[in-house]
Amino acid sequence: MSRADRIRQLHAAARERILVLDGAWGVMIQGKGLTEADYRGERFAAHNGQMKGNNDILCLTRPDIVAELHDAYFAAGADISETNTFSATTIAQEDYGLDAQAVRDINLEGARLARAAADRWTEKEPHKPRFAAGSIGPLNKMLSMSSDVNDPGARLVTFDQVYEAYRQQVRALHEGRVHLFLIETITDTLNCKAAIKAIKDLEDEGYEPLPIWISGTITDRSGRTLSGQTAEAFWNSVRHAKPFAVGFNCALGADLMRPFIAELSRVADTLVAAYPNAGLPNAMGQYDEQPHETAHFLEEWARSGLVNIVGGCCGTTPDHIRHVAEEVAGVQPRQIPERPVAMRLSGLEPFELVA
């Protein structure tokens, strides 16, 4: 089946049911007890500096583990699994001293592993097609906020540098045959705009258009992203991309995230997605929320008509996803609202002028 046909299946599935995304990758990889040698493999055996903790490099050095995790989440009931490329940009990988070729290879192999798993499970269960989402994470450098408290205008990167880093990433993910792009855990909307432009520019180069899913992060109970936007202002800022889905993930557990998902559900004229953490971390940085607890929250969101896609972020496991998939099965997806034509702008707050 061609990628275009599978994308049509994605749109059809989203009309029929609530889709399920996979869960956390970090917590699962940590549980493997990997050593520095596992992260280095043969290719990076003589590389300077520590490599342990660079989970994305496992696409090249331990692809068996990456494939195993895709399979675990698909077996648990996920419709969509993300590539293991959350930090696979030249900017983020500077921390590990990796060059552009290594970063490209991570994205290319990460996409191939996710796509191969999605194809295996679709062949095994053709009534439930699976999809590979190219994970495009936030950077460790922001365009909207100063890097120096004494200099409000200070920035560690320019828009062009961020755009180029994302451009290299999305090209490799596309060539690795992902079904859609997932710009996720967005703390800075301007960084997100650079990623959106990088994706849109691929189309001008003759690449096949792919659906875009945009997922921001509300950092605390203020209801704002780290760069200061409310949920509605964030949506107004990215709506021009005509995303397949928009939503929030990370930072908060489901109980604290609900009001912001409800607000997005009210204003977004596209699919709404949510994948919260397994509660908030305890004093040891561990997540205590049990699978049935996470599933209970997400079932309530589903039955309240707030969501079209659900999943899990930090601390969630295949067991969390299994419970979530079971609880939302058979629940009708959120109906996309029809909103009046208006001029909608945003800064930190939304602005609307109805004709």
Q: Looking at residue 287, which CATH number applies to its domain?
A: 3.20.20.330
Count of alpha carbons within 13 Å of 25, Cβ hemisphere only?
A: 25
Q: Which residue from 3, 1, 178 is spatially nearest to 81, judged by alpha carbons?
A: 178
Domain range holding 142? 3-354
**pLDDT at residue 152, rounded to an integer:** 87
The answer to the question of whether 314 is labelled as a binding residue is yes
251 compared with 172, residue with greater pLDDT: 172
Please give the Cα distance from 197 to 195 (Å, whole number): 5
Please give the Cα distance from 35 to 260 (Å, whole number): 39
Please give the Cα distance from 300 to 79 (Å, whole number): 20
Count how many domains the chain has: 1
The answer to the question of whether 59 is labelled as a binding residue is no
Angle, vertex CA 222, rays to CA 216 and CA 299, nearest 5 = 60
Q: pTM, whole model, 2 decimals?
A: 0.96
The answer to the question of whether 313 is labelled as a binding residue is yes
Write out pLDDT tens, residues 173-230: 999 999 999 999 999 999 999 999 999 999 999 999 999 999 999 988 889 999 999 9
Mean of all residue pLDDT scores within the chain = 95
